Amino acid sequence: MWLSLLRDGHCRIASALALVTLLISASSLEAEEIGRWSVDHVVQMALEKRPEITAARERVEAARARPAIVSALEDPMLSPAIDHYPFDVMKTEAPAVVEDTNAEVEPEAMPASAAVDNGRYDWSVSIEQRFPLSKVLTHRRDAAVADISKVDAEAERTALEIELDAVSAFYMLNEKRRMANVVNEQIQLAHQFISAASARYSSGNGNQSEVLRVEVEVARLESSLRALQEEIRAAEAMLNTSVSRAPDAAVPELVLPELDTPIPPKESVVTTALARRPELRIGNAEIARAGADIKAMQAMYAPMGTVRLGYSSTMAEGRGAMLMVGVSLPIWREKLGSGVSEARAMERMARADFDGMQRMVKGEAIAARNQLSAARIQYVSLRDDVVPRARRLIAPTLSAYSSGQGSLLAVIEAAQALWSVQAETVMAETALGLSWARFNRMTGITKESPL
């Protein structure tokens, strides 16, 4: 029994240790993955850190406050006033001396100068409010609401441009690093050529010029590698700038997505572009604003109303209330008609711009899809067919040369063919990644809303 319990305890301890080991390995793998940058991670950093995004969001917030501003009534006018102050009155003769000091003097017998001396005058306090007798404020609010849609679409367009900029910098850096790896492989292969040429020269089957010829290739490749190191630093600075980091900050390893995925059909691409491109949303918002401006200008034919209510005090009547109701007279019909004509012309312009933008969006989406298809064909062909063929050519050519049957020229030509297609493959990979980025831009696909 004790043995069985001991065995059970050991099994549980072993299971716990295995679980801990698995968790540690998973956490280390996760940490390793965090230290590598993918395209989505780069885009997320750009959208979170670029100040252009912050400015666009604040612009949207400012636009959202605009409808309440333009649809509000004018501020009321509070008007304290002295309506009549008698400073220039005719002097009257002083009244006769009255023997009876207890007698009262009638108010009508008091001279005018006495009223001035007592400080009496007419005064009033009123509040006035102007308001339109039409729906002009509602139409102005509709125009401001259309501006919100426009500014929001402009913010989305800014995000698409920033995403394209970050992805382009990502693929350019990846190209430089991949090219440096290819050059390193080429240098290693060239050193094998040097060993083979030196062996033939030592055995008397070759000459020293062959060794020197291969050394020239090695020197050329090493100089290309040194230049690539500087280009890598420049590409890293551009990528850091595109995600709002310090230009000289270290950039970890890059992880490419799967690039040879199927391409959506043309009809789906056009439909997606017409639904998601922010430029079309901007055009729709401009049409809506122009329509609201037309209604606002037509509403200006209606008069403005004014109501004034106040409290007053006069020397003759004493305290009382005031009420005034008035309307404006929009008699300058030519000015009002010109305003309506201008608003209608702006609407026609907005509709024409929208129609042109629709055609441009369709053309750009189809062109981006065709360019993506061409880039994919080129990359897949080089990766799956051309590069393997070029690699298979190296081994028999080098073996024949090492055995004294081939020539150095054939070896170098085979190597240069391999190096050429390797470089083309790296550039084709970059072209395919950039084509995907442009395709997403032309169809309005973002990281948050994939196709």
- How high does pLDDT run on average in the chain? 84
> Regarding beta strands 318-327 and 122-132, do their DSSP bridges make them parallel or antiparallel, or are they unpaired?
unpaired
Give the predicted TM-score (pTM) of the model. 0.77
In this prediction, residue 176 carries a pLDDT of: 95
Between 231 and 451, where is the model more confident? Answer: 231
pLDDT, tens digit, 9 for 90 and up, residues 226-240 = 999 999 999 999 999
Q: Cβ(129)–Cβ(88) under 8 Å?
A: no
How far apart are the C-alpha atoms of 215 and 220, rounded to whole Å?
Answer: 9
How far from chain centre, in Å, is Cα 306?
46
For 91, the token pair is 């002097």
pLDDT, tens digit, 9 for 90 and up, residues 414-441 = 888 888 999 999 999 999 999 999 999 9
Between 156 and 88, where is the model more confident? Answer: 156
For residue 6, how many other CB atoms are within 10 A of its CB? Answer: 10
In this prediction, residue 447 carries a pLDDT of: 63
pLDDT, tens digit, 9 for 90 and up, residues 337-360 = 999 999 999 999 999 999 999 999
pLDDT higher than 90, residue 199: no
DSSP-assigned states of every residue in 235-252: HHHHHHHHTT--TTS---
In this prediction, residue 206 carries a pLDDT of: 66
List, in sequence order, every residue forming a beta bridge with 81; answer none if it has no partner: 124
User: Which domains occur in the chain, in start order?
Assistant: 37-84+120-443 (1.20.1600.10)
In this prediction, residue 448 carries a pLDDT of: 53
pLDDT, tens digit, 9 for 90 and up, residues 375-390 = 999 999 999 999 999 8
Query: Would you state the torsion angle of the CA atoms of residues 193, 198, 203, 209, taken in this order, to the nearest 10 degrees?
Result: 100
How far from chain centre, in Å, is Cα 114?
77
pLDDT higher than 90, residue 400: no
Across the range 195-209, mean pLDDT stands at 75
> Regarding beta strands 122-132 and 304-314, do their DSSP bridges make them parallel or antiparallel, or are they unpaired?
antiparallel
DSSP conformation class of 318: E
When pLDDT is cut at 50, 70 and 90, the band that residue 99 belongs to is low
Residue with tokens 């106040």: 310
Across the range 53-72, mean pLDDT stands at 94
The rounded percent of the chain whose pLDDT value lies above 70 is 84
In this prediction, residue 214 carries a pLDDT of: 82
pLDDT higher than 70, residue 182: yes
Contact partners, residue 264, CB within 8 Å, separation at least 6:
272, 369, 451
How far apart are the C-alpha atoms of 388 and 392, rounded to whole Å?
Answer: 6
Lowest mean pLDDT among 264-268, 278-282, 317-321, 406-410: 406-410
In this prediction, residue 89 carries a pLDDT of: 60
How far apart are the C-alpha atoms of 135 and 323, rounded to whole Å?
Answer: 25
pLDDT higher than 90, residue 451: no
Across the range 259-288, mean pLDDT stands at 93
Q: Cβ(232)–Cβ(172) under 8 Å?
A: no
The rounded percent of the chain whose pLDDT value lies above 90 is 61
Residue with tokens 């595109």: 242
Across the range 112-130, mean pLDDT stands at 71
In this prediction, residue 10 carries a pLDDT of: 44
How far apart are the C-alpha atoms of 1 and 152, rounded to whole Å?
Answer: 74
Closest CA to 243 of 52, 432, 445: 52
3-class SS letters over 248-273: CCCCCCEECCCCCCCCCCHHHHHHHH
pLDDT higher than 60, residue 246: yes
pLDDT higher than 60, residue 25: no
